[in-house]
Chain A
Amino acid sequence: GPLSDRRLMEVKLGELPAWLATRDFSPQGLLGGLQKAWSSYYNKYINVKRGGPAGISMLLAGYCLLSYSWNYQHIKRHRWRKYH
């Protein structure tokens, strides 16, 4: 279908800038995009009859990565070697 209707996973790599241009970056648009992303994740991994650890473990792993990246400048000072 047309470029604006496709989801991120269905967009080819070369079309990525064009696809980004069609996205709505107003606050409502961003909020809507966030809502869509969360609900698709929620309905796939958490809102099931017999879920497993995968639902929250992925969220926790993402949180760990995010917080590591936020503190990276501070952690960089405790490196073991100066030259890599």
Chain B
Amino acid sequence: MLSRLLLRAAPAALRSLPPPGAVGVLHATRPLHTTQQSWAPLPPLPEKGGEVRHGLIPEEFFQFLYPKTGVTGPYMLGTGLVLYLLSKEIYVVNHETVAAACILSVIIYGVKRFGSDVAAFADKLNEEKIAKASAVKNEAIRDLETAIEAEKKEQWRVEGRSYLFDAKRNNVAMLLETNYRERLLMVYNEVKKRLDYQVAMQNLKRQKEQDHMIQWVEKNVIQSITPQQQKESIAKCILDLKALSKSAQAAV
């Protein structure tokens, strides 16, 4: 399809290549990518074909004869040619001539009447094909654009990294602080328990010593009270009571 382009550019490309021996460093016989032609993007197809008059003779022929013979030149040439061929019977009129005339008239009538409809139908088919392909292409482009947007958003999010890490650092610091305080409390409680124990021990010891001493003193005192002393103390008490009762009576 691009052969016409290639064929026009080929002599120019061939001329631009240096002779093979000139390249020393590369182990290639010719340098690559020297011409400007590239296969992508493809150039679009031409809209209309070459101009042709009466469906048979290219316009270039008429243009070629125009400077010398004007507008009627090619037609005069054609008429003269036809008359020459007929008169010298280089073209023989036979049954095939009649057949050719009928076929040609039918073909020309068909083309003139249905040509534009067929052309419109073919154009519609082409349009559908192109529309499908370009729909795919546009879909792909849209997807890539949304991907680009998403990527840009992610890049914007990266800027918030510092805030994220500050928050995380704060969290960690708070955890550490909490843990430290818990342990301080535990230490305090443990120490207090041990000190309380010591205090309780001392109190207990003193109480026990006191009780023991009181008991010992009482026991000894009770032991030391002999029966004799008991009688004497009782008699003394009775005397004292009598004296008291006398004094009380006297008072009343």
- Residues of chain A at the chain B interface (Cβ within 8 Å): 1, 5, 36, 39-40, 43-55, 57-58, 61, 64, 68, 75-76, 78-81, 84
Smallest beta-carbon distance A77→chain B, Å: 9
Q: Is the CB of A49 within 8 A of B55?
A: no
Beyond A48-B49, A61-B56, whether A43 also contacts B3 by CB under 8 A is yes
Smallest beta-carbon distance A79→chain B, Å: 5
- A sample of 18 more A-B contacts (CB under 8 A), given A43-B4, A47-B1, A52-B52, is A36-B3, A39-B4, A40-B7, A43-B1, A43-B3, A44-B4, A45-B49, A45-B52, A48-B46, A48-B47, A49-B126, A50-B119, A51-B48, A52-B49, A53-B55, A53-B115, A76-B92, A84-B87
- Tell me the dominant secondary structure on chain A's binding face: helix
- The reply on B209 being an interface residue by CB < 8 A is no
What residues of chain B lie closer than 8 Å to A5, measured between beta carbons? 11
A78 CA to B248 CA in the complex, in Å?
198
Task: Please encode chain B, from 69 to 102, with 1 for each CB lying within 8 Å of some chain A CB and 0 for all others.
Answer: 0000000000000000001110111100000100
Q: Is the CB of B3 within 8 A of A53?
A: no
What residues of chain B lie closer than 8 Å to A51, measured between beta carbons? 48-49
Q: Is the CB of A47 within 8 A of B45?
A: yes
A36 CA to B50 CA in the complex, in Å?
17
- The reply on B123 being an interface residue by CB < 8 A is yes
Q: Is the CB of A84 within 8 A of B56?
A: no
